[in-house]
Amino acid sequence: METLHATSLWTPEGWRSDVGLRIGDDGRLAALDPGTASGTRRVVPGIANLHSHAFQRAMAGMAERQTDPSDSFWTWRETMYRFAARFSPQSLYDVAAQLYVEMLEAGYTTVCEFHYLHHAPDGRAYDDPAAMSRALIAAARDTGIRLTLLPVLYMTGGFDGRPLGERQRRFGHDVDAYLRLLQILRADAGDGVAVGCALHSLRAVPEQAMAQTLAALPSDARVHIHIAEQIGEVQDCLAIRNARPVEWLLDHAPVDARWTLVHATHLTSEETQAVARSGATVAICTTTEANLGDGLFPVREYFDAGGRWGVGSDSHISVCPVEELRWLEYGQRLITRHRNIAVSVETPSVGETLMRGVAASAGDSSGHAIGTLRVGEYVDAVVLDEAAPVFAGARDEDALDRWLFAGNRRAVRETWVGGRRVVAQGRHRDRDAVAARYADTLRGLLAAD
């Protein structure tokens, strides 16, 4: 058995000194052994990235010129659709591999991939209908990140049931074809990959189709859904279904701890409280929501209600959990004009509160035994870089605050997934080769302009 040594180990129960994480043959934590560490090695749980569209990494930073005086999510979406039309399984693999290397070097150890780029550009299924999904699985396996693959059911172009538009034709399935895809992927997934279900949104999945799909899923399947990201979506749902999106979902679906609501930005107080009571996780994608001008999630009220939450890099305008967590807090400081919002009487440290939040939701949202580095969970861990100036003179109780609020340079020394080290000295083992393939692929994608 291999042992990961820690002079200081953080878990949601707090800091422990001088321990060895004994790793079983299955990559899980077999035991915590005292008195085995030397030097200075602070170890924290790896962070789960709860929402990712891998292909969008290739267009990050390329939609920052005004194309319309009323630029918004909806105009950005048209740019994204044009870019999405260019991908093949090979180019998706190359972009996803680059993204996953960046995630691992930043401290993410699991990614929940919300995947709707299913078919060929003309909308016809590939000979292997799982070809695009397999590209993502291969990229995750080759880079070493843990994957929750969430194939997306995408059927209609709006709450009124209109057909998908030409630019959405790569995304669509009927329910039967979608369930066959899930069956294929579950049979082939293998170690380190969980297969769940993603409903694109209420506007893209009619009520009957949603019910049929949910009834066919295994009882432990994870379900993710985009919801209430845009004011326009809320207004359309009210007009067609006579309820707000989250209100409608909670009344019509068995939402519980298996569910992850992505964004849920625009909530009433009643909805906020109801989501917290449901046990679902909210995936807050702070940097993407800021980039798209979506709005701010009601963090303070939701936290006070005991709601479960995590973070996702979504469109990958940033691939850094530090930035997602920092700006989750900073957004609330800006609208309340107060400091240190995400705290409690028991935990006055913002950094510890934020880390507890992402640790607590990781397993339920992803479907993997991860998040807290307890015995029986996978050893998905980050060794912080004690040579980074941000940690100079830091006590254990200060380390998370320093990392999350002053860690402007990468402060990850090692990343471990399933008891295997995939990042050492701050570098992924295959960084250079992956980056070279990515650069070639991106040039090819851009040549289509």
DSSP label at residue 61:
T
* Identified catalytic residue from 94, 294, 314, 401: 314
Q: Return the structure tokens found at 248.
A: 């409608």
Residue among 10, 12, 32 at smallest CA distance from 21: 32
What CA–CA distances, in Å, run from 408 to 208, 322, 388, 391?
47, 8, 10, 12
Beta bridge partners of 28: 378
Beta strands at 193-195 and 146-153: parallel, antiparallel or unpaired? parallel
Contacts of 254 (CB under 8 A, 6+ apart): 214
Q: Which of 167, 159, 92, 97 is nearest to 131 (CA)?
A: 92
Closest CA to 159 of 121, 194, 206: 206
Q: How many CA atoms lie within 13 A of 50 on its CB side?
A: 37
First-to-last C-alpha distance (Å) of the chain? 52
Catalytic site residue from 200, 263, 316, 428: 263
281 closest CA partner among 46, 51, 12, 10 = 51
Alpha carbons 327 and 286: distance in angstroms, whole number: 6
Alpha carbons 76 and 63: distance in angstroms, whole number: 7
Measured CA to CA, the distance from residue 57 to residue 97 in angstroms comes to 10
Compute the residue count for the chain.
449
Annotation says 314 is catalytic:
yes
Give, as one character, the DSSP assignment of residue 115.
E
Strand residue runs (E) in 296-425: 308-311, 381-384, 412-417, 420-424
Element (H, E) at 186: helix 175-188
Tell me if residue 252 is catalytic: no
Q: So which residues are the catalytic ones?
A: 263, 314
